[in-house]
Chains A and B, each alone.
Chain A
Amino acid sequence: MEAVGLPIETESSVLKITLLGHRRALIENHKGVYAYTEKGITLTGSEGLVSVYGNDLEIKELDTERMLVDGYITGATYE
């Protein structure tokens, strides 16, 4: 995609995390839930595992590609 000058987010398989302040996170193009606790959610993506950390995390919406997380989010990292 980058070779033809298109932005990387146009690639459908790339995992995308959108943080809306500390209160909400939208994760798109995930491949499934790897681990889920109140303190963190680890998801599988095309490039490995990705974790979203925080407190009192709740998955408000979940489908095969998209996850909306509510709670107090403190960070997101690649494992």
Chain B
Amino acid sequence: MAANIWNSLAGYVIINIEGAYLERLINHITNSGIEIWSLKRQGGSIRLSVGIGGFYRLRTIAREYPCRIRILEKHGLTVALCHMGRRYVMAFGWIAALGVLLIASRFVWIIDIEGCSAVEEAGVQRVLAAKGVSPGARRGSLDTAAIADAVMASDGRIAWAGAQLTGVVLQVSVKEAQEGTHIYTQGEPCSIFASQSGVITSITALSGHPKVNVGDAVQAGDELISGSLGSGIFTEARGTVTAEVLHRYAYCAPWEQELLLPTGAKQKGMWIELKGKTILPCIPPYDKYQTGETVRHTFTSVLPITMCSAEYMELKEGRGLASATKLMEITRAGAEAQMYEQLPPEATIISKTTDFSTDDTGMTCTIQLIAEQNIAVIGEILPDVQQQ
């Protein structure tokens, strides 16, 4: 690898040697200490690679043999430089380009501002311009810490600002202050009590003294986290307490319900279908109706159409005895409506059972569920405790 790199830098040529006694010539060359590589026999000639320095020595040796040397290719940096040496304008262009690149790299050309949302980017640009930071400013004259401080001080909505110089790019990062961030301030001493009865599943006391453990059964009103720390020291109890709470929702509906009842009026209706799609529909004869069984007459041997007919029975709203299935639907919907209304939205339902019971008056649907929910409510520190 190192030899390859050196050969690429120093330059090498690929030559073709044609003639007699080529093996002897090769041995002579290697014994003379000339480095050759990539030898390839091609009929009566050998193609090989040799360094620039070695080539001149090889040529001298080859004069002793009846052979002819022909340079096929020239490679390497020195060869490229030799070619360029005669092209003064190109060499000057390269040097000029390199010089321009070196000079240009001493200035800032791109200013990238990121993180602006509520704060206007143009405002930050104005602050930078006031500090003398604009495309074309000298890199050495920039104080990134001072730039960051100026940007941060320019707008109250900016919580933090930073500036970083990477090459010719000045990266200005802005972090805006988030609105509505809750900052806790100590309130009046209080305790946390159970809003509902249940079995504690977790308790996290941020301040105050926890009075219950996970697995404890508590009644509504029990003290969960006390604001009294003892020795007459009181604090605002804070924390969350979750518990498995049993909920029961019941909805009762009488047998007699507002229903759509048949009036006894009937009328036959007909429509035509083509390959299962209705092409000539039937206009229902009543506003509210139910249809009987559909009778279909097909004519597939002649046309792919079906003639359909059904009996339309008129329905009218009125009070009547509902079926058990209908009443189950009504009572279940009523109980579930209660459940969604009363159950806290953050509660997680762990188990749920639905039962129906009937008597002479009607049907009752009872939904019983166990939900995990926060039961902590703030209340005053108990008077007897406060006096201790």
Residues in A lying within 8 Å of B, measured CB to CB:
32-38, 57-64
| Min distance, Cβ A27 to any Cβ of chain B, angstroms | 13
Q: Is the CB of B41 within 8 A of A33?
A: no
**Closest residue to B29 on the A side, CB-wise?**
A62
Main secondary structure of the interface of A (DSSP, over half): strand
25 A-B pairs (CB sep. < 8 Å) = A32-B23, A32-B31, A33-B23, A33-B26, A33-B27, A34-B23, A35-B23, A36-B22, A36-B23, A36-B26, A36-B39, A37-B41, A38-B41, A58-B38, A58-B39, A59-B38, A60-B37, A60-B38, A61-B37, A62-B30, A62-B36, A62-B37, A62-B39, A64-B30, A64-B31
Chain B residues with CB under 8 A of A38: 41-42
| Interface residue total, chain B, C-beta cutoff 8 A | 15
- Of A34, A35, A37, A63, most buried by chain B (CB within 10 Å of CB) is A63
**Closest residue to A34 on the B side, CB-wise?**
B23
* B40 contacts the other chain (CB 8 A): yes
Residues in B lying within 8 Å of A, measured CB to CB:
22-23, 26-27, 30-31, 35-42, 46
**Closest residue to A39 on the B side, CB-wise?**
B41
Known: A64-B30, A64-B31. A36 touches B46 (CB 8 A): yes
**Closest residue to A69 on the B side, CB-wise?**
B39
Chain B residues with CB under 8 A of A61: 37
Chain A residues with CB under 8 A of B41: 36-38, 57
| Min distance, Cβ A79 to any Cβ of chain B, angstroms | 15
**Closest residue to A31 on the B side, CB-wise?**
B27
Closest 6 CB pairs of A and B: A59-B39, A32-B27, A33-B23, A58-B40, A38-B41, A33-B26
For the complex, what is the distance from the CA of A58 to the CA of B46, rounded to whole Å? 10
Q: Identify 12 new A-B residue pairs, CB closer than 8 A, beyond the known A59-B40, A62-B30.
A: A33-B23, A34-B23, A36-B22, A36-B26, A36-B41, A57-B41, A58-B39, A58-B40, A60-B37, A60-B38, A63-B30, A64-B31
Chain B residues with CB under 8 A of A37: 41
